[in-house]
């Protein structure tokens, strides 16, 4: 029997129409360093129409890739709202990549138009001659005449381009399965891989982000998007805010703790999203410059494991609930979010909160061991996580239109490369990335668990644990520590090892310790263990050895 229900595409063209009419009063606010500038969703609608006309005038048609090289700001949001709605494909480039990676990605994606932030013109100019498919560069908030472009590339000023256009555009309803946006993984192993999102996948995923099972976004919220729009589409916050009518607060390039806190004081966001290292920086600043941030009812942290002590600091000292989540570029971002189940209290509640979280309804999950045998979801057995679902990619993008699997799929399931356990009630706890696993004498030492324990010491600001070769045990953990400024008596390696001995067996305790000013970070602010391993191998990391 068929249903009597109507069918309708989950199209970002419809979403644009909805957000800019029903939620016309919601705002996108951009921080300028000292003050804020604000545009309503209604204004965004008029500017989106002008932008779509302008892009059409430049020859942008269905499936053409339109890239951005921008900070989080209201103009970036305009490009986000417009490009998929007109049938083209949005591609936010990571502004922190090395030039070689940027060139590889833009050429691989065959980007045709690139929006470049005025403050990033000189960085972009260096790679532009090597971008073979780019025909138009649109400079936003800057001086277009300052950009030197090779022959065949036209340079435009964003506002001039918009002014010349009519403010009406007929955004057609699109096939929900057509491409809407794409992102590349950071390429920690091998070349970066492209993931292409559909209208349907982005719509469904953004709807999940708005639910209380994820961020619970509502029209009464002001959502501070610290996570860059080039990091898995800012975890879908632009689309989720259009669905819910939540206002957006954008930090632009002011991402250091001091300006972020000044912006929060002025704009009082109710929710926020960022990777753990941002929260580490904010906590350190707040320790010396107290400020009430309890206007944040809840913040979402993911992309890397959130140290439990940091979660407790925000909750107990600042009245801000930190919600932990796990996801990947391949899963449109959100796969799990850690909201404890009903009845969980005290330490039990914290056990749930510090886990990576509970799976979303449309994300199916399973664990497999090294031999490919399924592992039970008993909360104890470890295996590699595999997922599938309508917002999980089924392959990687290839310009030849033959999608590549790159060994990352198992019978239609995405192999995440993450190792962990799953409880019977669907909570995921990760212990490592497969490529970061440390095996000492064949026995596993979880780097995430050990990092969390080192970071629980009051003298430690950040700690990363990585595997180093060892003649006797094949591999041993090495600890890189950043000590907290002004934390009283600075801890030494022996003290920290003693601290670890409370929870770890003697054979697990690391003998190699290195004290550094900063842990190297990836382009999206995660601990860069590949860089640490390389520094160690090159003899550039001075370490203390305890025996
Ligand atoms: P990259 O691989 O470049 O870091 P992604 O942002 O797609 O790009 O990273 C996804 C990976 O980040 C996951 O596979 C996992 O290893 C890690 N990750 C994401 N969220 C968490 C989390 N809450 N705890 C631990 N690891 C996480």
Q: What's the pLDDT at 186? A: 75
Please report the atom of ligand 1 found closest to the CA of residue 336. 23
CA of 445 to the centre of ligand 1 (A): 19
Q: State both tokens at 199.
A: 């209208």
Q: What's the pLDDT at 191? A: 77
382: exposed, middle or buried (Cβ count in 10 Å: 0-12, 13-18, 19+): middle
Q: Which of 40, 444, 475, 514 is catalytic?
A: 444
**Ligand 1 contact via 526 beta carbon (within 6 Å):** yes
Q: Which of 330, 384, 451, 462 is catalytic?
A: 330
Q: State both tokens at 159.
A: 């506002």
**Ligand 1 contact via 82 beta carbon (within 6 Å):** no
Nearest CA to ligand 1 atom 21: 304
Residue intervals in the chain for CATH 3.40.50.12780:
1-30+38-206
CB atoms within 10 A of CB 42: 16
Please report the atom of ligand 1 found closest to the CA of residue 433. 16
Classify 111 as helix, strand or coil.
Answer: strand
| CB-based contacts of 370, cutoff 8 Å, min separation 6 | none
d(CA 219, CA 320): 20
**Ligand 1 contact via 188 beta carbon (within 6 Å):** yes
Q: What's the pLDDT at 487? A: 58
Q: Which of 439, 443, 495, 507 is catalytic?
A: 439
Q: What's the pLDDT at 189? A: 59
Please report the atom of ligand 1 found closest to the CA of residue 416. 14
C-alpha distances out from residue 415 to 264, 374, 380, Å? 39, 13, 20
Residue with tokens 């600042």: 318
**Ligand 1 contact via 326 beta carbon (within 6 Å):** yes
pTM: 0.95
Q: State both tokens at 263.
A: 């912006």
Please report the atom of ligand 1 found closest to the CA of residue 325. 23
Q: State both tokens at 525.
A: 């602010």
**H-type helices in 326-400, by residue range?**
346-354
Q: Which CATH superfamily is domain 1-30+38-206 in?
A: ANL, N-terminal domain (3.40.50.12780)
**H-type helices in 110-225, by residue range?**
121-127, 158-163, 199-210
Residues of the chain with pLDDT under 50: none
| Terminal alpha carbon distance of the chain | 72
Residue 435 is among the residues annotated as catalytic for this protein: no
Ramachandran region, residue 318 (left: φ > 0; alpha: ψ -120 to 50; beta: rest): alpha
Q: Within 13 Å, how many C-alpha atoms sit on residue 391's CB side?
A: 30
Classify 53 as helix, strand or coil.
Answer: helix
Residue 43 is among the residues annotated as catalytic for this protein: no
Q: DSSP per residue over 137-156, as a string?
A: EEEESS-GGG----TT-EEE
**H-type helices in 407-501, by residue range?**
447-455, 493-501
Residue 193 is among the residues annotated as catalytic for this protein: no
Residue in 326, 352, 406 to alter for ligand 1 test, most ligand atoms within 8 A of Cβ:
326
Please report the atom of ligand 1 found closest to the CA of residue 356. 23
Please report the atom of ligand 1 found closest to the CA of residue 357. 23
Q: At CA 158, angle to CA 154 and CA 159, rounded to 5?
A: 135
3-state secondary structure 444-488: EECHHHHHHHHHCCCCEEEEEEEEEEECCCEEEEEEEEEECCCCC
The percent of the chain in helix, strand and coil, each rounded to the nearest 5, is 30, 25, 40
Q: What's the pLDDT at 188? A: 61
Q: What's the pLDDT at 309? A: 95
**Ligand 1 contact via 331 beta carbon (within 6 Å):** no
Angle between helical axes of 493-501 and 447-455 (0-180°, round to 10): 110
The kind and range of the H/E element at 432 are strand 427-433
CA of 432 to the centre of ligand 1 (A): 10
Classify 232 as helix, strand or coil.
Answer: helix
Q: In the chain, count of helices (H) and strands (E)? A: 16, 28
The answer to whether the CB of 313 falls within 8 A of the CB of 286 is no
Residue in 303, 325, 337 to alter for ligand 1 test, most ligand atoms within 8 A of Cβ:
303
**Ligand 1 contact via 186 beta carbon (within 6 Å):** yes
Please state which CATH number belongs to domain 436-545: 3.30.300.30
C-alpha distances out from residue 377 to 141, 143, 327, 421, 426, Å? 51, 56, 19, 7, 8
Residue intervals in the chain for CATH 3.30.300.30:
436-545
C-alpha distances out from residue 42 to 22, 24, 394, 409, Å? 9, 4, 36, 43
CA of 332 to the centre of ligand 1 (A): 12
Classify 191 as helix, strand or coil.
Answer: coil
Residue 439 is among the residues annotated as catalytic for this protein: yes
Residue in 186, 188, 418, 525 to alter for ligand 1 test, most ligand atoms within 8 A of Cβ:
418
Residue in 105, 182, 301, 304 to alter for ligand 1 test, most ligand atoms within 8 A of Cβ:
304
């Amino acid at each position: 029997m068929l249903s009597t229900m109507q069918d309708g595409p989950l199209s970002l063209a419809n979403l644009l129409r909805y957000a800019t009419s029903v939620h016309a009063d919601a705002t996108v606010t951009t921080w300028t360093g000292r003050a804020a500038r604000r545009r309503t969703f209604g204004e965004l609608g008029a500017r989106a129409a002008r932008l779509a006309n302008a892009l059409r005038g430049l020859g942008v048609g269905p499936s053409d890739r339109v890239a951005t090289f921008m900070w989080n700001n209201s103009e970036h949001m305009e490009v986000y709202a417009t490009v998929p709605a007109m049938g083209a494909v949005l591609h936010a480039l990571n502004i922190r990549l090395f030039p070689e990676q940027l060139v590889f990605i833009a050429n691989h994606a065959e980007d045709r138009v690139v929006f470049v932030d005025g403050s990033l013109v000189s960085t972009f100019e260096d790679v532009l001659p090597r971008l073979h498919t780019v025909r138009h560069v649109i400079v936003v908030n800057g001086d277009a005449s300052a950009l030197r472009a090779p022959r065949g590339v036209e340079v435009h000023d964003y506002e001039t381009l918009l002014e010349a256009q009519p403010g009406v555009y007929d955004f057609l309803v699109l096939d929900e399965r057509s491409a809407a946006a794409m992102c590349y993984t950071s390429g920690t192993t091998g070349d970066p891989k492209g993931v292409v999102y559909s209208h349907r996948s982005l719509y469904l995923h953004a709807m999940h982000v708005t639910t209380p099972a994820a961020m619970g976004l509502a029209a009464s919220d002001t959502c501070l998007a610290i996570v860059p729009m080039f990091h898995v589409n800012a975890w879908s916050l632009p689309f989720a805010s259009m669905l819910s009518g939540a206002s957006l607060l954008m930090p632009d390039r002011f991402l250091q703790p001091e300006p972020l806190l000044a912006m929060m004081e002025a704009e009082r966001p109710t929710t926020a999203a960022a990777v753990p290292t941002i929260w580490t920086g904010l906590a350190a600043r707040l320790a010396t410059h107290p400020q009430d941030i309890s206007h944040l009812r809840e913040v979402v942290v993911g992309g890397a494991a959130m140290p439990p002590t940091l979660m407790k600091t925000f909750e107990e000292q600042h009245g801000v609930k930190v919600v932990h989540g796990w996801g990947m570029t391949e899963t449109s971002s959100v796969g799990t979010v850690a909201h404890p189940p009903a009845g969980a209290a005290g330490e039990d509640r914290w056990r749930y909160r510090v886990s990576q979280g509970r799976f979303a309804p449309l994300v199916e999950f399973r664990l497999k061991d090294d031999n490919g045998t399924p592992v039970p979801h008993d909360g104890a057995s470890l295996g590699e996580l595999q997922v599938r679902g309508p917002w999980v990619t089924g392959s990687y993008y290839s310009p030849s239109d033959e999608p590549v699997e790159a060994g990352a799929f198992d019978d239609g399931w995405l192999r995440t490369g993450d190792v962990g356990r799953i409880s019977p009630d669907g909570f995921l706890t990760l212990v490592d990335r497969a490529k970061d696993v440390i095996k000492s004498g064949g026995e596993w030492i979880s780097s995430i668990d050990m990092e969390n324990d080192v970071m629980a010491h009051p003298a430690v600001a950040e700690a990363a644990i990585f595997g180093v070769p060892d003649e006797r045990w094949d591999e041993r953990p090495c600890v890189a520590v950043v000590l907290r400024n002004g934390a009283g008596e600075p801890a030494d390696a022996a003290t920290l090892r003693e601290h670890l001995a409370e929870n770890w067996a003697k054979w697990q305790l690391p003998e190699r310790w290195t004290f550094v000013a900063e842990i190297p970070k990836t382009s999206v602010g995660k601990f860069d263990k590949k860089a640490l391993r390389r520094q160690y191998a090159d003899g550039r990391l001075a370490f203390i050895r305890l025996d």
